[in-house]
Amino acid sequence: MPDAVTLGGMFLLERSAEEPAVEQLAAVDPFELIASTFNLSVRTPARLRRQLDVVSAIASNGLAYRLRVQPAVDATQLASIVQAQLGVVIG
């Protein structure tokens, strides 16, 4: 099993008519982060506590980024944009 790695950030995707742009969010709504997890299997208090701990770390440590992409961008193009923006964010 691979070793765990430190979370470098989380992109919140948003459709926009503008060119792809990334911005670090100084403040982020924790509910937006929770809604972005697509996690329907939080069935135990321990798992919920871990999820809330991760959301808290993302929100309080400046690890949230908004990535705006145009509606016509397909999944393959989006993957390339995310990969390029990761290089910008994590250097």
Q: For residue 76, what pLDDT is reported?
A: 94
Whole-number Å distance between alpha carbons of 83 and 85: 5
Residues of the chain with pLDDT under 50: none
Q: For residue 89, what pLDDT is reported?
A: 72
Give the residue among 41, 33, 35 at the shortest CA–CA distance from 57. 33
- Give me 54's structure tokens: 């991760």
Q: For residue 51, what pLDDT is reported?
A: 85
